[in-house]
Copies of this chain bind each other. A is one copy, B any other.
Amino acid sequence: MRKKFDTEMSVRPHEVDLNGHVHQSVYFDYVLFARWDQMGRCYKMPMEEFFKRGYSWTTQSARIEFQKPLYLGDTIIVRTWIEEIKQKSVRVRFQILKKKTEKITTEGELVYVLISAKTGRPEIIPEDILEKYSVQQD
């Protein structure tokens, strides 16, 4: 199994709705931040390096299950890992946990496609990136 990485963050006041729960759309911002953070810190290939090499990532699809609400005041852990690598895309799974209880509140997955920043067309994931993305759980 590929290695799982964690990013910690805090729920911010503008992210909660009328009922005091974090808005559904905000969960995707959390996961986006976690991936961005982990690309540099954990996979050792920050987003800027993709840009420099003429690449970008685009999201093809997403699914999410909201199991327990998140509230203002919660510190959360966004855990992500690569579930599957295809020629031009990766399938990333994620879980969002409350830091205090370590209970899972949310689960889901995203499919990201590597594209040429210039043409927007899908690109084959190069060998050296494949290798970085293949780091295994101890």
Contacts and interface: CB of A to CB of B under 8 A. Distances in A.
A23 B25 CA distance: 10
A56 B19 contact: yes
Nearest to A30: B12
A61 B65 contact: yes
Chain A interface mostly = mixed
A69 to B, nearest CB: 8
Contacts of A117: 19
Given A12-B32, A13-B33, A18-B18, 12 more contacts: A12-B36, A13-B36, A14-B29, A16-B17, A16-B18, A18-B20, A23-B29, A24-B62, A25-B28, A36-B72, A59-B66, A63-B63
Interface string A14-49: 101111110111111100110011000000000110
A134 interface: no
A61 B26 CA distance: 14
The number of chain A residues touching the other chain, given as a range, is: 35 or more
A13 B29 CA distance: 8
A58 interface: yes
B63 A61 contact: yes
A10 interface: yes
Nearest to A26: B25
